[in-house]
C-alpha cells in the first residue's frame, strides 16, 4: 500500500493512509468494547428477568431421587398400576410421594441458595419471587386435584395427573428461569396425558418424566451454564 518511491503523490497518499490507519486502529480498539458492551447488556437483561441461580446439580439429584423412589414404590411398597389399588396402598403411596417431594424441594432450594450466594446474588430476589409465584399456581392446582382424586377414590389417576401438572409448572417456570424448562415441561405433559389413558404405564412414565428427564435437564444446564 505504501509507495516508497518519491513522487508528488507520496505525501498525500501516505497521509491518507495514515488517516485511514488511525481510524482503523481506533475502531479495532473499540471493537472488543462494543462486543462486551452488548454481552453485558444481554446478561443484565437476563439476570434481571430470569432466576439463573437454580442449581443444575439439584435438578440432577431430584431425578436420582425419583428413580430411587420408583424402585422403592414398586419393590418395597409393592405398588403396581396394573392391579387394583387398595385405599391402604393409596395412603402409603401418598405419604411416600409427599416425603420424596419434600426432600427434592429442600435439596433444590439448598443448592440454589448456595449457588446464589456464590454469584453474590440475594436468593429471595425479584426474579426468584416471580418464578416462585408462577410455579406455585399450577403446582397447587395439581396438588389439590390429586387430593380430590384420592377423596373420590380414583387413585389410578394420581400419577398421570402429577406428571401433567408438574409439566405445566415447568412450562410456566421456563419463562422465569432457564428456557430449557419449557421443553421438558411439554414432554412431561405428553407423558402424563399418555398414561392418563394407558394407566398401566403410569409408573414407567413417571420414572421417565421425573427421573430420566430431570437428570437430562440437569446435565444440560450444568454443561451449558455452570461449567
Partner 1 sequence: MKPLIDELHKAFESRVRLGIMSVLAVNDSMDFNALKEYLQVTDGNLASHLKALESEEFIGVKKTFVGRKPNTTYAMTKKGKKAFDDHLKALENLIKLYRK
Q: Which residues bind partner 1 (CB under 8 A)?
A: 23, 27, 30-31, 34-35, 37-38, 40-42, 44-45, 47-49, 120-122, 125-126
Instruction: Return the number of the residue (22 or 226) whose C-beta is nearest partner 1.
Output: 22
Closest approach, Cβ 133 to partner 1, in A, equals 15
Instruction: Return the number of the residue (17 or 34) whose C-beta is nearest partner 1.
Output: 34
Closest approach, Cβ 142 to partner 1, in A, equals 29
Closest approach, Cβ 69 to partner 1, in A, equals 37
Instruction: Return the number of the residue (3 or 37) whose C-beta is nearest partner 1.
Output: 37
Closest approach, Cβ 17 to partner 1, in A, equals 16
Task: Enter the C-alpha cell of residue 152.
Answer: 373420590
Secondary structure (3-state) at 152: coil
- The 8-class DSSP code of residue 84 comes to P
Task: Enter the C-alpha cell of residue 61.
Answer: 439429584
Distances (CA, A) of 109 to 13, 23, 127, 128, 189: 67, 52, 15, 11, 24
Distances (CA, A) of 126 to 119, 130, 165, 195, 227: 15, 6, 24, 37, 25
Total number of residues shown for the chain: 227
Instruction: Return the number of the residue (177 or 202) whose C-beta is nearest partner 1.
Output: 177
Closest approach, Cβ 132 to partner 1, in A, equals 16
Instruction: Return the number of the residue (31 or 224) whose C-beta is nearest partner 1.
Output: 31
**Please, are residues 64 and 215 in contact by the beta-carbon 8 Å criterion?**
yes
Amino acid at each position: 500500500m505504501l509507495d516508497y518511491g518519491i513522487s508528488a503523490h507520496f505525501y498525500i497518499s501516505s497521509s491518507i493512509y495514515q488517516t485511514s490507519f488511525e481510524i482503523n486502529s481506533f475502531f479495532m480498539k473499540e471493537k472488543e468494547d462494543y462486543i462486551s458492551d452488548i454481552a453485558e447488556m444481554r446478561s443484565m437483561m437476563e439476570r434481571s428477568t430470569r432466576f439463573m441461580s437454580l442449581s443444575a446439580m439439584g435438578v440432577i439429584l431430584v431425578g436420582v431421587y425419583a428413580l430411587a423412589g420408583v424402585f422403592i414404590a414398586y419393590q418395597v411398597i409393592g405398588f403396581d398400576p396394573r392391579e387394583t389399588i387398595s385405599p391402604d396402598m393409596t395412603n402409603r403411596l401418598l405419604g411416600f410421594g409427599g416425603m420424596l417431594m419434600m426432600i427434592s424441594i429442600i435439596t433444590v432450594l439448598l443448592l440454589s441458595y448456595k449457588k446464589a450466594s456464590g454469584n453474590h446474588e440475594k436468593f429471595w430476589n425479584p426474579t426468584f419471587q416471580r418464578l416462585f409465584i408462577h410455579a406455585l399456581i399450577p403446582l397447587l392446582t395439581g396438588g389439590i386435584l390429586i387430593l380430590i382424586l384420592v377423596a373420590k377414590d380414583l387413585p389410578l389417576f394420581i400419577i398421570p395427573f402429577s406428571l401433567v401438572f408438574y409439566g405445566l409448572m415447568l412450562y410456566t417456570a421456563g419463562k422465569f428461569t432457564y428456557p430449557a424448562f419449557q421443553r421438558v415441561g411439554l414432554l412431561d405433559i405428553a407423558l402424563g396425558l399418555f398414561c392418563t389413558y394407558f394407566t398401566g404405564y403410569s409408573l414407567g412414565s413417571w420414572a421417565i418424566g421425573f427421573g430420566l428427564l430431570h437428570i437430562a435437564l440437569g446435565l444440560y444446564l450444568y454443561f451449558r451454564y455452570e461449567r
